[in-house]
Each structure stands twice: as structure tokens, then as C-alpha cells.
Amino acid sequence: TVTLIMAFNNFKNINTNEKLLDFFRKYFPDSISLIGQKKLIEDFFGVSPSTLVSVKCRPYHVHNKALLIGDAAHAIVPFYGQGMNAGFEDCYILNELFNKHNDDIPSILEEFSGKR
């Protein structure tokens, strides 16, 4: 699987097999032998670029009953551990809020939703 994240104009400029191979020779030279030229060309021109999407959730809590954290709260693209990193950050913030608000759940949940 190969994922290219770049501006749409860059995708538009790569409009021939040779331009694609030149691009990969310049920026990802090791990948061509691993993927294969034919497969790279077929895959690149076989799909259209699309946007990266993030889904916003607010509030993160429901009354004093439930709190969404981690992947449940941060619907983001699954690259580079972004969901995991957001989950770790959620845990860190939640822990800080427990200390700040002396385990007062309503205050913790309200502030957590405001911070995230």
C-alpha cells in the first residue's frame, strides 16, 4: 500500500507514466523496485486523489455518564499513529483534570470537552 499526501496540483502535474516514474525516482527511489513500475503506474492512475477527512466530535461527554476518548473521539486518518497519539494525549489531559478538580466528574468532563 502506498499513500501519497500532497497538494492536488501535484497530482494533476503527474499526468503521464514518465512523469510518475520521474517523481518516484526523485523522491522515493527505493520504492520502485519494491512496487514494480507496472503496478505503480496501474495503481496511481487507477484511483483519483481524495481529501483527508477529520470528523469533529463535541461535546465528548454525555451528561456525567460517558466520555469518548481515543479513537472513539478522534476519527482521523489511520496514518502514523495519529489516533493512538490522540488517545495518549486524552489520557494525559484526563489525568491532569482529575488532579485539578479533585475527582469532581462533572467538572472534569465539562473541561475535557472544552479542551479537546
- Say how many domains are in the chain: 2
What percent helix, strand, coil does the chain show, rounded to 5?
Answer: 60, 5, 35
Compute the average pLDDT of residues 32-36: 96
In a domain, 56, yes or no: no
Question: Domain containing 110: what range?
Answer: 61-115
Q: Is 97 within a domain?
A: yes
State whether 65 and 97 are in the same domain. Answer: yes
Q: What is the pLDDT of residues 12-31, one digit of tens each?
A: 999 999 999 999 999 999 99
pLDDT in tens, 38-63: 999 999 999 999 887 767 777 888 88
Does residue 53 form part of some domain? no
| pLDDT surpasses 70 at 1 | no
Q: Residue 90 and residue 96: Cα distance in Å, rounded? A: 10
Position with higher pLDDT, 78 vs 63: 63
Enter the pTM of the model: 0.55
The arithmetic mean of pLDDT across residues 53-74, rounded, is: 79
